[in-house]
């Protein structure tokens, strides 16, 4: 049966048809045979009854007269009939008159106990025929027939015919099925062929040909529909696979799958590139122990494994790794553990980014921050002694020194100013490089700026007999985007250079024009020696003086470097148009701005009037400062102004007490105090009723913009940086104390808050 199941469908159907044909034939022949057998039996019984009746009639006289011989003779005549196997004639008293057959058959006749009629027993028929004479029963004739032989003959006959008919039918069925089965099996076989093609080539684009509309036709439709669906799904899966493969292969981030024992299962091209390998295969085949081969510190790999095994994921895990060429890089990894059904880790998978550059930038930023802090600290430390040097120098200069002393004092002052300039410029450059320079870029009128700068330069130019002029008509409507203060600083630097490097009786001219790119170019030209072309490349480098250090012109070599950085920070540029032998022409360029809406013109105070007022009144000034030389300096400075009474405190708390007790007209506050921070002293002063309205001027060596901003916001009226400029100092003192000590007038001053620093 198993064999049959695996046979081709055509053979199976042929076999079935032939089997059914044989079965049907067999059934038909069996029915026919049994009918024939039955008919034979009836016919034989009838025949036996006729023979019995005739024989009984013939024997009637022999029975009456009990003539055994005659009876035996009559019965013997029955032997000629093949089916009669035994006969017995008996009298009414059952006494046997004649008999033939075997004793077994006689026993069978007697055992049947039949007196009249026919009895069937299998192939045997027993007839009991009463023997009568003249209507009187004289005895009984028994005839026993056996149909076995006849039946066997019949069976043989039917068997033979059946065999022949069966053979003919089977041959016919075979021949016909061979022809007609094609209609049934061909569509199925074609469908099977299509299925095989699909399976063999995974080609879901083929379709089965529909040739009929029966169940096979329906099956073909369903099969084609199924193929269409599979094809659509297959294409969707392929597209998704392609998409993810492309993402994996073209990702900028490195992607990997690695085993806990340190082998790579899969990596993408970015990952291989990161390690300096030519292909993913190279890294997969060559790395057999990730911890030892790639980790600079193998203990970090252990840490990674511990974290991922505990938490299942690891995020932003940073470690240093070796590239193929042995160089080091910093990597940042996100990964997760992939486990099997039992929870055992199969592999890790995740992404890796090369963060070497970020680390380097962080390192540079750290170093830059440290540098800025260092410079800020150094400049602070230098400003404190400079305060004493320049301050006392200025005082000495104002106290009618002798002819011998005067040049010495000038030397002290000029050296001090030089050092101060140097400190300021270094600090500025470091601030710009650390990105901590706070600029307030706004529309600035070029004419105003140039006029201010030229005014400031006039004394120096006059001293050096340099003609200072503007080459263009100043147009008040031309504005540039700039930080007013820093723009002026750059202009002054260019003008100072022009004036100081141009020999006496030379010329310095300023000009400006629109350069056509919506920029305004401002030029400063001079008739000096110019700068040789071979030195121009180093012009904006810090501390490069290009040979000027051999001359007697003072300088730090930082002015142009700082100017360049300031211009860039403001979105502008700086350069030289020409230099040597006709002199130099420096330029700065800034984006042109629209002229802002007209503002109220700031009211200019009458300084001299105030000074006269201040002379008339005695004012109390409290100075809170822990540095003795600074205290002495201020004391000596106020010695020039007898109308001021100076109170001093070397500690914050003492200063607060004095402020409460004396209610001074002005408080000068240093920030570095031994007990309280100057900021805290200011806060307390501003919170007390008695001192809230007293103007506070901070005097500090800390010139950082953030510090100044912080103190001004906390309520300081002005911020002066050390070293103090005596003239500037008294200007601020006069300004803040000019109108007396009443609360109302002091409040008015808050509108004129000043922050005076090194710029």
Chain residues in the site for ligand ADP (CB under 6 A): 493, 497-498, 501, 526, 528-531, 539, 545-546, 548, 555-561, 584
Q: Which is nearer to ligand ADP, 17 or 422 (CB)?
A: 422
Q: Give the chain's count of helices (H) and strands (E).
A: 22, 23
Q: Closest distance between ligand ADP and the C-beta of residue 559, in Å?
A: 3
The closest residue (CB) to ligand ADP is 555
Q: Which is nearer to ligand ADP, 302 or 554 (CB)?
A: 554
Q: Closest distance between ligand ADP and the C-beta of residue 549, in Å?
A: 7
Q: Closest distance between ligand ADP and the C-beta of residue 548, in Å?
A: 4
CA nearest 746: which of 687, 693, 696?
693
Long-range contact set of residues 519-522: C-beta below 8 Å, sequence gap at least 24 = 519/572, 519/589, 519/590, 519/591, 519/592, 520/446, 520/478, 520/480, 520/589, 520/590, 520/591, 520/592, 521/587, 521/588, 521/589, 522/446, 522/450, 522/491, 522/587, 522/588, 522/589, 522/590
Q: Which is nearer to ligand ADP, 239 or 568 (CB)?
A: 568
Q: Closest distance between ligand ADP and the C-beta of residue 421, in Å?
A: 8
Q: Closest distance between ligand ADP and the C-beta of residue 580, in Å?
A: 8
- Residue 584 backbone zone (phi > 0: left; psi -120 to 50: alpha; other: beta): beta
Q: Which is nearer to ligand ADP, 379 or 584 (CB)?
A: 584
Q: Are strands 313-322 and 328-339 parallel, antiparallel or unpaired?
A: antiparallel
Cis check for the bond before 725: say yes or no (omega within 30 of 0): no
Q: Closest distance between ligand ADP and the C-beta of residue 430, in Å?
A: 16
Q: Write the DSSP string, 6-50.
A: HS-HHHHHHHHHHHHHHHHHHHHHHHHHHHHHHHHHHHHHHHHHH
Q: Closest distance between ligand ADP and the C-beta of residue 749, in Å?
A: 38
CA nearest 330: which of 293, 304, 299, 297?
297
- Close Cβ partners of 237 (under 8 Å, ≥ 6 residues apart): none
Q: Closest distance between ligand ADP and the C-beta of residue 249, in Å?
A: 54
Q: Which is nearer to ligand ADP, 388 or 576 (CB)?
A: 576
Q: Which is nearer to ligand ADP, 497 or 627 (CB)?
A: 497
Rounded Cα distance between 555 and 535, Å, is: 17
Rounded Cα distance between 646 and 623, Å, is: 7
Q: Closest distance between ligand ADP and the C-beta of residue 654, in Å?
A: 44
CB 663 within 8 A of CB 691: yes
Q: Closest distance between ligand ADP and the C-beta of residue 592, in Å?
A: 26
Q: Which is nearer to ligand ADP, 81 or 415 (CB)?
A: 415
CB 567 within 8 A of CB 507: no
- Close Cβ partners of 223 (under 8 Å, ≥ 6 residues apart): 191, 194, 195, 208
Q: Which is nearer to ligand ADP, 60 or 531 (CB)?
A: 531
Q: Which is nearer to ligand ADP, 227 or 524 (CB)?
A: 524
Q: Which is nearer to ligand ADP, 252 or 533 (CB)?
A: 533
Q: Which is nearer to ligand ADP, 555 or 655 (CB)?
A: 555
Reported as half-sphere exposure (CB side, CA atoms, 13 A), residue 610 has a value of 15
CB 663 within 8 A of CB 690: yes
CA nearest 655: which of 618, 701, 706, 694?
694
Q: Which is nearer to ligand ADP, 559 or 723 (CB)?
A: 559
- Close Cβ partners of 36 (under 8 Å, ≥ 6 residues apart): 154, 158
CB 313 within 8 A of CB 306: no
Q: Which is nearer to ligand ADP, 260 or 575 (CB)?
A: 575
Structure tokens of 623? 């100075």
Give the rounded distance of the alpha carbon of 37 from its chain centre. Answer: 94
CA-atom Rg of the chain in angstroms? 66
Q: Closest distance between ligand ADP and the C-beta of residue 248, in Å?
A: 55
Cα 17-21-23 angle, rounded to 5 deg: 115
Structure tokens of 639? 């010695």
């Amino acid at each position: 049966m198993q064999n049959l199941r695996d046979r081709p469908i055509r053979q199976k159907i042929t076999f079935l048809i032939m089997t059914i044909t044989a079965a049907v034939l067999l059934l038909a022949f069996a029915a026919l045979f049994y009918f024939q057998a039955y008919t034979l039996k009836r016919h034989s019984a009838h025949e036996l009854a006729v023979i019995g009746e005739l024989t009984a009639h013939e024997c009637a006289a022999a029975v009456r007269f009990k003539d055994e011989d005659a009876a035996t003779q009559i019965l013997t005549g029955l032997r000629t009939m093949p089916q009669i196997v035994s006969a017995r004639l008996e009298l009414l008293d059952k006494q046997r008159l004649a008999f033939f057959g075997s004793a077994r058959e006689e026993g069978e006749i007697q055992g049947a106990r039949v007196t009249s009629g026919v009895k069937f027993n299998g192939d045997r028929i027993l007839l009991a025929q009463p023997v009568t004479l003249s209507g009187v029963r004289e005895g009984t004739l028994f005839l026993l027939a056996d149909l076995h032989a006849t039946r066997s003959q019949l069976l043989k006959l039917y068997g033979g015919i059946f065999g022949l008919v069966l053979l003919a039918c089977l041959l016919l069925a075979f021949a016909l099925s061979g022809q007609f089965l094609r209609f049934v099996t061909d569509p199925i076989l074609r469908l099977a062929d299509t299925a095989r093609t699909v399976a063999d080539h995974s080609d879901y684009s083929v379709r089965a040909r529909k040739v009929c509309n029966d169940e096979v036709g329906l099956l073909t439709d369903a099969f084609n529909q199924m193929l269409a669906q599979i094809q659509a799904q297959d294409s969707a899966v392929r597209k998704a696979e392609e998409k993810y493969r492309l993402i994996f292969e073209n990702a900028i981030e490195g992607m990997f799958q690695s085993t806990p024992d340190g082998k790579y299962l899969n990596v993408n091209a970015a990952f291989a590139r990161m390690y300096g390998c030519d292909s993913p295969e190279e890294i997969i085949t060559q790395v057999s122990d990730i911890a030892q081969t790639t980790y600079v510190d193998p203990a970090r790999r252990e840490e990674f494994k511990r974290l991922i095994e505990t938490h299942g994921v690891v995020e932003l895990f940073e470690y240093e790794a070796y590239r193929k060429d042995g160089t080091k890089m910093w990597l940042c990894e996100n990964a997760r553990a992939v486990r099997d059904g039992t929870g055992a880790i199969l592999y890790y998978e995740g992404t890796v980014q090369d963060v070497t550059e970020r680390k380097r930038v962080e390192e540079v930023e750290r170093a830059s921050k440290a540098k800025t802090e260092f410079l800020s600290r150094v400049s602070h430390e230098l400003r404190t002694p400079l305060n004493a040097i320049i301050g006392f120098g200025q005082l000495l200069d104002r106290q009618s020194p002798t002819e011998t002393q005067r040049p010495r004092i000038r030397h002290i002052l000029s050296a001090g100013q030089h050092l101060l300039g140097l400190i300021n410029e270094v600090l500025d450059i470091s601030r710009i490089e650390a990105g901590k320079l706070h600029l307030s870029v706004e529309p600035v009128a070029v004419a105003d700026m140039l006029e201010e700068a030229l005014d400031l330069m006039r004394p120096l130019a006059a001293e050096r007999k340099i003609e200072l002029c503007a080459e263009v008509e100043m147009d008040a409507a031309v504005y540039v985007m700039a930080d007013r203060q820093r723009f002026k600083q750059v202009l002054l630097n260019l003008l100072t250079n022009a004036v100081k490097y141009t020999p006496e009786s030379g010329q310095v001219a300023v000009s400006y024009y629109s350069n056509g790119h919506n920029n305004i170019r401002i030029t400063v030209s001079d008739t000096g020696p110019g700068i040789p072309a071979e030195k121009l490349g180093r012009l904006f480098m810090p501390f490069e003086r290009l040979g000027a250090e051999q001359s007697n012109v003072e300088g730090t070599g930082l002015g142009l470097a700082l100017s360049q950085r300031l211009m860039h920070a403001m979105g502008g540029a700086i350069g030289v148009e020409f230099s040597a032998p006709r002199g130099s022409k420096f330029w700065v360029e800034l984006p042109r701005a629209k002229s802002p809406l007209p503002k109220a013109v700031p009211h200019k105070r009458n300084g001299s009037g105030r000074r006269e007022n201040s002379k008339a009144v005695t004012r109390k000034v409290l100075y809170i400062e822990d540095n003795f030389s600074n205290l002495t300096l201020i004391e000596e400075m106020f010695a020039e102004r007898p109308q001021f009474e100076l109170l001093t405190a070397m500690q914050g708390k003492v200063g607060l007490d004095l402020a409460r007790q004396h209610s001074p007209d002005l408080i000068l506050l240093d920030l570095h105090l031994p007990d309280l921070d100057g900021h805290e002293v200011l806060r307390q002063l501003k919170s007390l009723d008695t001192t809230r309205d007293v103007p506070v001027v901070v005097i500090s060596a800390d010139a950082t913009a953030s510090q100044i901003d912080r103190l001004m916001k906390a309520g300081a009226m002005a911020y002066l940086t050390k070293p103090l400029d005596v003239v500037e100092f008294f200007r601020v003192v006069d300004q803040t104390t000019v109108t007396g000590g009443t609360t109302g007038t002091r409040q008015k001053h808050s509108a004129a808050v000043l922050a005076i620093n090194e710029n």
